[in-house]
Chains A and B, each alone.
Chain A
Amino acid sequence: MSARVVEAGQRHIREINDELQKAAAEGQEVVVTNTLSRHNLGIGLPKGAHVRFEGSVGYYCAGLNDGAVIEVERNAGWGLAEGMASGHVTVGGYAGMSAGAAMTGGTIHVKGDSGPRCGVAMKGGNIIVEGKIGYQSGFMAHSGKIIALGGAGHSCADALWEGEVWVAGEVESLGVDVNVVEPTAEEVAEVDSILEPLGLVDSSRNWRKMISGQRLWYFESRDANAWLMI
């Protein structure tokens, strides 16, 4: 069955998304043409949906994704796949600020660079960036992995919870409360198993794994009685 073509153009965003939902319900693959970098393309698509956006997309493409497989041919704007629960999102070019913000699961694969705060507040899932991740990537990531193959900008892995930032290449500077640790062979194997389906395994990489230093996790008083002085 060949893919259904949906033209974005200047049509109302609701109409475009309705057609994507309808195609998903019918198990039909979709190619969206003339995307014009529109915002809010492919919001909340379910498992079984398969959508390919020709050209570039604007903010929140694949936002709140619920299992869909989504490809963006060129670049994506802010908040790519924000709040995604599951699914697979691929960007052929660059991703803007806050790719994967607050996502809880699924996979984002960016073939170019990603902008600042990649994986901000993420609660699960994996983000793989073949290029460089922008400044403050991983800010307060609760869980999940950000894997950058081409370096990282300033303030990398800032104020993490239990999320991990893996970088091959140069890290311009570390954020607050970061521990850079030597990954074990098992941990590297786990990352390779994420990269393997994407054809990105390279055993010569010199990984830097960044986790929380846990100093920001607590005030100095962890005891209820210390807070009774008032």
Chain B
Amino acid sequence: MADDLNDTYTYPFDMPSEEAVKFSDGAIAGKPAGVPSSYAEGGSTRWTPEAISEVHALAQLGRYQVRGYNTFNKRMPTFDDLTFVPATMTRLPLEGYRESCDTTTVLGGGRGLVEKPVELKIPIYIASMSFGALSANAKASLGYGASKVGTMTCTGEGGMLEEEREASQTLLYQMSPARYRIDLDHIRRADALEIVVGQGAKPGTGGLLLGMKVSERISEMRTLPVGVDQRSTIRHPDFLGADDLAVKVEELRIATNYQVPIFLKMGATRPRYDVAIAAKAGVDVVVVDGAEGGTGASPELLLNHTGIPTMSSIRAAREALDECGMTGKVSLVAAGGIRSGVDAAKCLALGADAVMIGNGAMIALGCNSPRYYEDFARLGTAPGACHHCHTGLCPVGIATQDPELEARMDPHAGAERIARYLTAMTMEITALAKACGKSSVHNLEVEDLRAMSFEASAFTGVKMAGIDRAFDW
């Protein structure tokens, strides 16, 4: 036999015993030494325990899984792959503890078309999270907290909540494709309008609010039967392409008497083209929401496997605006997975004019805070790991419509935590900006950053640390 290698040679000594060959001097009896751990543990990189349990879940449910929060895709890059390179010999730093750094942020004034551009004291505002996804208490807290530090909140797609309108000095009113209770009265009470064509958590798919959260009040505001699983549209009812959108933008300008700016929010997918088209359609502000963006409920596969990372979308969006001569005319807002002032500062340096925070603001309100352990356990989770916004059973009273749970969130304390979180984030941004020698946070630039991974450099065009060259295709 060709594969029998044993009959052509004979040792000049006796065959060793089987025991000796199998390390009998100390190896565990019955388990040959040197058998890899995969014998017990397995080692398929494809069929991981998670992948196996996912198949079991699909096989039992016969449907995809739905959950809230944000992506669990482990391959998402993080802002931690970027570092600032403050002023040293080539540049002069500002005194971080003493000198001032301007944080004023104006959105939507670049075209000179509207009377009242949005003027914020800080380059951060609260992301669009609907009343429905969040409780009325939570919405009011966000409004008061944001007002205290001179910034804005956004209604989300559920219509204008009176508590939020009262709380928010500056309120961005969202027109989602479903157009829940959009009318002239609400439009004229808004400080800015936002046309939604998508969101980072699930670009290309409409909003989702499971029946547990469709309370009497939600159903009235959204004109829906109580308790239905609201799965919203993603295509707008009255425009399809960019040319129609331009007419729509003009309509909204007439309806608001050219007073307030018009935002357009998109999920980050092809920002290089999408942002250019949005700018061409005539909006004042483009919001690009990266794949790390959060949501109250989504098919899990869309959270984990659609969209591109926030850091990569900002550079592409800024280059798109540069290329079509729209930088300065159209403002750019970045969003998706921004946790701190450090992340926000990196977004500004990459090219954003402002950032929007959603999950971070919820966490400041008390999301995933170490309280009500038993209720977290009942959801099968624990503080720090909860992602059950979709159930409406939020143990800390933020992502719920249950009055008893909602009462667990003190709206006044929540407002103050939001104000402090935003203040702290702003301090973080100015600390970095001043170290980089910038007297305005808006002077942060790509040159202030270096990448610590090839991936981050390739995604952003930021120079690699040390070698000082961008990873170049």
Q: Write the residues of chain A forming the contact surface with B, with a CB cutoff of 8 angstroms.
A: 13-14, 17, 39-40, 43-44, 58-60, 63-66, 78-79, 82-83, 85, 97-98, 101-102, 104, 117, 120-121, 123-124, 139-140, 142-143, 161-162, 216-220, 222, 224, 227-230
Bound form: Cα–Cα A220–B61 in Å? 10
Nearest 6 CB-CB pairings of A with B: A79-B238, A102-B179, A101-B237, A142-B223, A101-B238, A120-B237
* Contact call A13/B250, Cβ cutoff below 8 A: yes
Instruction: Indicate which residue in A140, A142, A143, A222 contacts B227 across the interface (CB closer than 8 Å).
Output: A222
Known: A78-B244, A142-B223. A64 touches B237 (CB 8 A): no
Known: A98-B238, A217-B225. A104 touches B247 (CB 8 A): no
* Contact call B65/A230, Cβ cutoff below 8 A: yes
Bound form: Cα–Cα A224–B224 in Å? 19
* Contact call B380/A17, Cβ cutoff below 8 A: no
Q: Write the residues of chain B forming the contact surface with A, with a CB cutoff of 8 angstroms.
A: 57, 61, 63, 65-67, 177-185, 187, 210-212, 222-225, 227-229, 231, 233, 237-239, 244, 247-248, 250-251, 253-255, 258, 300, 379-380, 387-388, 390-393
* Contact call A121/B233, Cβ cutoff below 8 A: yes
Which residues from B are CB-within-8-Å of A227?
Answer: 66-67, 210, 390-391
Q: Given A63-B251, A162-B224, 16 other A-B contacts at CB below 8 A?
A: A14-B254, A17-B254, A39-B250, A58-B247, A60-B248, A78-B239, A83-B179, A104-B181, A104-B182, A104-B223, A117-B237, A121-B178, A162-B223, A217-B229, A219-B66, A230-B300
Which residues from A are CB-within-8-Å of B387?
Answer: 230
Which of A43, A85, A161: most chain B CB closer than 10 A?
A43
Which residues from A are CB-within-8-Å of B225?
Answer: 161-162, 217
* Contact call A66/B185, Cβ cutoff below 8 A: yes
Known: A40-B254, A220-B63. A123 touches B181 (CB 8 A): yes
* Contact call A83/B248, Cβ cutoff below 8 A: no
Which residues from B are CB-within-8-Å of A140?
Answer: 178, 233
Beta-carbon nearest neighbor of B188 in chain A? A44
* Contact call A64/B184, Cβ cutoff below 8 A: yes
* Contact call B184/A44, Cβ cutoff below 8 A: yes
Bound form: Cα–Cα A228–B229 in Å? 16
Bound form: Cα–Cα A228–B386 in Å? 11
Bound form: Cα–Cα A17–B223 in Å? 30
Beta-carbon nearest neighbor of A97 in chain B? B238
Instruction: Indicate which residue in A14, A85, A219, A230 contacts B258 across the interface (CB closer than 8 Å).
Output: A14
Beta-carbon nearest neighbor of B60 in chain A? A229
Bound form: Cα–Cα A140–B206 in Å? 13
Which residues from B are CB-within-8-Å of A39?
Answer: 247, 250-251
**Distance of A51 from chain B, by nearest CB (Å):** 14
**Distance of B215 from chain A, by nearest CB (Å):** 13
Instruction: Indicate which residue in B185, B211, B233, B388 contacts A85 across the interface (CB closer than 8 Å).
Output: B185
**Distance of B246 from chain A, by nearest CB (Å):** 9
28 example contacts (A-B, Cβ-Cβ < 8 A) are as follows A13-B250, A13-B254, A40-B250, A43-B251, A43-B255, A59-B247, A59-B251, A60-B248, A64-B187, A64-B255, A65-B184, A66-B184, A83-B179, A83-B183, A102-B179, A104-B223, A120-B238, A121-B237, A123-B179, A123-B180, A162-B224, A218-B229, A219-B229, A222-B227, A222-B229, A228-B380, A230-B300, A230-B387
Which residues from A are CB-within-8-Å of B210?
Answer: 219, 224, 227
Which residues from B are CB-within-8-Å of A59?
Answer: 238, 244, 247-248, 251
**Distance of A78 from chain B, by nearest CB (Å):** 6
* Contact call B238/A102, Cβ cutoff below 8 A: yes
* Contact call B223/A60, Cβ cutoff below 8 A: no
**Distance of A71 from chain B, by nearest CB (Å):** 19
Which residues from A are CB-within-8-Å of B223?
Answer: 104, 123-124, 142-143, 161-162
* Contact call A102/B229, Cβ cutoff below 8 A: no
Bound form: Cα–Cα A230–B65 in Å? 7
Which residues from B are CB-within-8-Å of A85?
Answer: 183-185
Which residues from A are CB-within-8-Å of B247?
Answer: 39-40, 58-60
Beta-carbon nearest neighbor of B387 in chain A? A230
* Contact call A224/B239, Cβ cutoff below 8 A: no
Beta-carbon nearest neighbor of A20 in chain B? B254
* Contact call B63/A44, Cβ cutoff below 8 A: no
* Contact call A228/B179, Cβ cutoff below 8 A: no
Known: A43-B251, A98-B237. A218 touches B228 (CB 8 A): yes
* Contact call A60/B258, Cβ cutoff below 8 A: no
Which residues from B are CB-within-8-Å of A40?
Answer: 247, 250-251, 254
Beta-carbon nearest neighbor of A117 in chain B? B237
Which residues from A are CB-within-8-Å of B212?
Answer: 224
Which residues from B are CB-within-8-Å of A162?
Answer: 223-225
Beta-carbon nearest neighbor of A83 in chain B? B182
**Distance of B268 from chain A, by nearest CB (Å):** 24
Bound form: Cα–Cα A121–B300 in Å? 26
**Distance of A85 from chain B, by nearest CB (Å):** 4
Instruction: Indicate which residue in A98, A104, A121, A218 contacts B183 across the interface (CB closer than 8 Å).
Output: A104
Instruction: Indicate which residue in B61, B178, B233, B393 contacts A229 across the interface (CB closer than 8 Å).
Output: B61
Bound form: Cα–Cα A60–B249 in Å? 11
* Contact call A219/B254, Cβ cutoff below 8 A: no
Which residues from A are CB-within-8-Å of B229?
Answer: 217-219, 222
**Distance of A101 from chain B, by nearest CB (Å):** 4
Which residues from B are CB-within-8-Å of A218?
Answer: 211, 228-229
**Distance of A176 from chain B, by nearest CB (Å):** 13
Bound form: Cα–Cα A14–B388 in Å? 47
Known: A64-B183, A64-B255. A228 touches B63 (CB 8 A): no
* Contact call A43/B227, Cβ cutoff below 8 A: no
Bound form: Cα–Cα A218–B227 in Å? 9
**Distance of A154 from chain B, by nearest CB (Å):** 17
Bound form: Cα–Cα A229–B61 in Å? 10
Known: A85-B185, A230-B65. A224 touches B393 (CB 8 A): yes
Which of A143, A162, A229: most chain B CB closer than 10 A?
A229
Bound form: Cα–Cα A56–B228 in Å? 41
Which residues from A are CB-within-8-Å of B392?
Answer: 224
**Distance of B395 from chain A, by nearest CB (Å):** 13
